[in-house]
Every structure is written in structure tokens, then in C-alpha cells.
Amino acid sequence: MKLPDQLFVDGSYRDSASGRRTPLVNPATETPLAEVAAADLADVDAAVDSAHRAWESNWRDWTPGKRTEVMYAIARLLREHLEDLAQIECQNIGKPIGDARDEIGLGARVFEFYAGAITKFCGQTIPVWRGGFDYTLHAPLGVVAAIVPWNFPFPIGCWKVAPALAAGNAVILKPASLSPLTALKLGQLACEAGLPPGVLQVLPGAGSAIGDALVTHPLIRKVSFTGSTEIGRHIMELASRDLKRISLELGGKSPNIVFADADWERAAETSPMSVFANTGQDCCARSRVFVERKVYEPFVEKFVAATRKLAVGDPAKPETQLGPLVSAGQRATVEEYLTDARQRGSRFACGGNRPVGKGYYLEPAVLLEVGQADRCWREEIFGPVVAVRPFDDETAMIREVNATPYGLSGSLWTNDLRRALRVARQVESGVLSVNSHSSVHVEAPFGGFKQSGIGRDLGMNALEGYTELKNVYVAE
Ligand code: NAP
Ligand code: MG
């Protein structure tokens, strides 16, 4: 299979103006994978101009029905190429192949959802005081920049691109430098499905080189970003200059709360993958486990036993649950946290070491006796590390759950309905699941409280973020 290795601009692959390239390494083998063209400032200008031209001259006047048809056609092509795309993701970022297949399927489903949603995204007619006819319209914004990370490159790309296109915008998709390949295929397949050239462009390139130019470009009307809180804050500052629309989906330090009245055995068996899936590189990772003291000991025992059973290894094998970390740098960052935990006297119930052999692997680590002031309890690690602490009192526990600048996701395990409703109301997070670990539903809003972000992806809510509300009054 030929890997895409050029920018996708104006409906075709092309090299960057500078000729610069970014080398990619397969993190499971540490061997070179490809060298991909890296966009520079001249490429940003060319891509934004082309996107704006395509939007103004053609795309913004497409009927909702025509947009629906092309969105379904894109979804069909993604499904036809599902296996190729999954194999690419597996090699590029070490994503276990089973997860990679699920994520490409999820991306296709996002296109299907918005293909159908756009004809149900209604305005209002308003009986204004003076009579006549008053109605609201959802107007597209123009060109949207979607800047996405490397942990779930394909689905996160789709959940920005699909609602933006459905609402009638053009999109510049900037993948993370580590994971440009499936984004480039998405651009090409969307065009093949009938999307006019220029409506979706894909610009791999270093965020440090082209990020500011994208965010400040006068023809970019909105920046939709997923990534670190640090870069999110930077984007918000830059966007304030011309009051650019932004949505930010940032980090997390999500709780997993287990009450003694719950089916805590099921919670213990399923919880390892709520933090270790994607090798812990997940903004929704339940990295702080709060267990009611009455069941703390047996919970930890089961939780550790289930963690030890996780299949860590070659992401190309269908039975693998945890692949390598995405890069040597990411593993080094995680190891700094582990060193800090050791120095502060945390107990390692299991994991935390590198297995022998090639690849940026790390055994999933369960930390006990972690202090509430320790970095591993307070900061997002973005790797296979979890801290488990007992609690006695519900009110004090909720206060600690909320004592973080983050508020993205979380789980709550109880069989007491009133407690479930009360705690779900009190936890400060954008998404929460009761007796489950799911965070993402294509049909429902996804995003964070506090420093976990601003705005919502997915569901009908995302369409609001890619449109302006216009009120039209017609005199009678
Ligand atoms: P990051 O720097 O925030 O990267 C996310 C995206 O932003 C990438 O496409 C990146 O491009 C781009 N970017 C970088 N600098 C930019 C700038 N000045 N302007 C505009 N865009 C810019 O995240 P990271 O460095 O990959 O990861 C660092 C930490 O962020 C992780 O350890 C984790 O804590 C957090 N993170 C969170 C999520 C999430 O889903 N919420 C995802 C990834 C990471 P380049 O790749 O070219 O730098
Ligand atoms: Mg970065």
C-alpha cells in the first residue's frame, strides 16, 4: 500500500513550497515509515485562498440535499477503504489494529450522522411584535481550521470536518506532525466522493511553524482545536485579536468513582481499559480512581489482576490491547512521572517498566499511596499510569474530584439511583457515565468544563459551533 506523503491542496496531492519533509517512525519497531511533506507559510496562504475561493464561488450555495449526498458518499468510500486506513494508523502511531478498525468505522459513522443531521438542524419563525415575517438561519462561517492531535487522529479529524462541511463551510485540516497519514487519505477520498476541490485541504506541518499563521489568517473564520491545554490557551490568546470563533477540546484528569454499593467487581474488571486504552494517551483516561474504603482492598486486588492480564505488544496482532506509546519523547515524559512517583514513595502495585526489545512500550502501572499533592495525582500524564485512592466521605471525595483545573470526563459506579443522580450533578465535567466507561457518542455532545475546553464536538451541538445564527425580518 502506498502511503500518502504530500500535502492535499485544491483537490490533489502536491509537495510543499519549501520542499521540507517530516520523517515518520513506526513506534512499534522504531524503523522509518515515511517522509511527509511539511507545509510552510506559503502553503498556508495558498491553501486558505483556494479554500475561500471554493467556498465563495460554489460550495456555500450547495443545497442541503446535495451536501447530504456527498457526505454519504464520503462515508461509503471510507468504509470501502476501512482496512487500508486501519493498517496505516496501526503503523503510523502503534494503534492496536482492532482499535484502528473501530476508529475508522467511527469516522465513517460521523459522516453518516451529519449527512442526516443537516436537514434536521432547524431555525425558528418568530412572531415579532410589529408583524411581518421573522425567521432564523444557520449561516456557514466560511473557512474553518481544524487542528487535531495524534492520539485519535482519524475520528477527531472526522468529528471536526464532517459537521463543518455539513453546515456549508470549507475546512483546512492540520493533522499532528506525528500522525498525518489517514488525514491525507481522508482529503483525497472526500474529493473522490464528489466534494469540490478546495473544500477540504489537508496540511501536515509543524504546529510551531504554521499554527500561528492558520489561527491569525483573516480568511479563517473559526479554529476548532483538540490538543494540550497549553496550546489551547495560546490559540485563544491569538484568536482574541480579531475575535475569531474557537472551540477547544483540551486535557483531562478524569475520575473513576466506585461506591461500595456498586457492582464493584465489574467496575474493577472493566476499569483498567478506562485508563489504559490507547496506552493511556486519551484525554478521557480515568487516571484517578476513587474507591470507597469498604471495598478498597478487594477492588485493588481485582483491578491489578485485570491490569496484569492486558495484552501489551505488537499492534498489528488482533489480540493486542496496548501498543507502544506514540514516540520516544512521549515515553520519556511518562517515565519522568514514574520517577517522581517513586521518589515520593508511591507503591507500584504493578507495571512501570520497559519490556525488553524494540518499540516505545511501557507496562501499564497501577500506583497506590499517591499523595494528593503529587504530580501523578494532579497532572495529566497521557500514558499508561493510574493512581488509586480510598475515600470515606462522599462530600469530601466530590470536593477532591473537582479540585482540578480539568473537567472533561469520568465514571461513577453505584446501584443507588439517588446517589447516581446527586453525584452526576455535582461532578464538574462535560461528560460522565454511570456504571459504564463510555465517553464518546456520535449523537451526543462531547467537551469539557473549566480548562478542559470551550465548546462542544459531536451531536447536534457541534453544528451550532460551525454556524452563525442570522435573524431575517421580512416586512409584510
Ligand atoms: P499539542 O502540542 O497541543 O498538539 C496538538 C495539535 O496542535 C497538533 O496538531 C500540533 O501540531 C498543533 N500545534 C502545536 N503548536 C501549535 C501552535 N502554536 N498553533 C497551532 N497549533 C499547534 O499536543 P502534543 O504536543 O502533541 O501533546 C502534548 C500533551 O498534550 C500531551 O502529553 C497531552 O497531555 C495533551 N494532549 C491532549 C489531547 C487531547 O485529546 N485533549 C491530545 C493530544 C495531546 P504538531 O503536532 O505539529 O506540533
Ligand atoms: Mg506540542
Q: State in Å: Cα 231 to ligand 1 middle.
A: 6
- Residue 236's pLDDT is 98
- The three cell numbers locating residue 250: 483540551
pLDDT higher than threshold 80 for residue 194? yes
In the chain, ranges of CATH 3.40.605.10 domains: 7-250+451-474
Fold (CATH) for 7-250+451-474: Aldehyde Dehydrogenase; Chain A, domain 1 (3.40.605)
pLDDT higher than threshold 90 for residue 338? yes
Catalytic residues: 249, 283
**Which residues form the pocket of ligand 1, taking CB atoms under 6 Å from any ligand atom?**
147-151, 174, 176-177, 206-208, 211-212, 215, 226-228, 231, 234-235, 249-251, 283, 380, 382
What is the rounded CA–CA span in Å between residue 274 and residue 150? 19
Q: What is the mean pLDDT of residues 449-474?
A: 98
DSSP state at residue 360? S
Share of the chain above pLDDT 90, in %: 100
Q: Can you point out the beta strands (E) in 351-459?
A: 365-368, 385-391, 411-413, 433-434, 453-454
State the pLDDT confidence band at 1, using cuts at 50, 70 and 90: confident
State the pLDDT confidence band at 219, using cuts at 50, 70 and 90: very high
Whole-prediction pTM value? 0.98
Task: Give the CA angle between residues 177, 180, 181 to the nearest 5°.
Answer: 150
Strands 245-249 and 220-226 turn out to be parallel
- Residue 354's pLDDT is 97
What is the rounded CA–CA span in Å between residue 476 and residue 473? 10
pLDDT higher than threshold 90 for residue 223? yes
Nearest Cα residue to atom 4 of ligand 1 = 227
What digits encode the pLDDT tens for the residues 305-327? Answer: 999 999 999 999 999 999 999 99
Say if residues 410 and 254 touch (Cβ distance below 8 Å).
Answer: yes
Among 41, 144, 147, 220, the mutation site with the greatest number of ligand 1 atoms within 8 A of its Cβ is: 147
What digits encode the pLDDT tens for the residues 21-50? Answer: 999 999 999 999 999 999 999 999 999 999
Nearest Cα residue to atom 19 of ligand 1 = 211
Superfamily of chain region 255-441: Aldehyde Dehydrogenase; Chain A, domain 2 (3.40.309.10)
In the chain, ranges of CATH 3.40.309.10 domains: 255-441
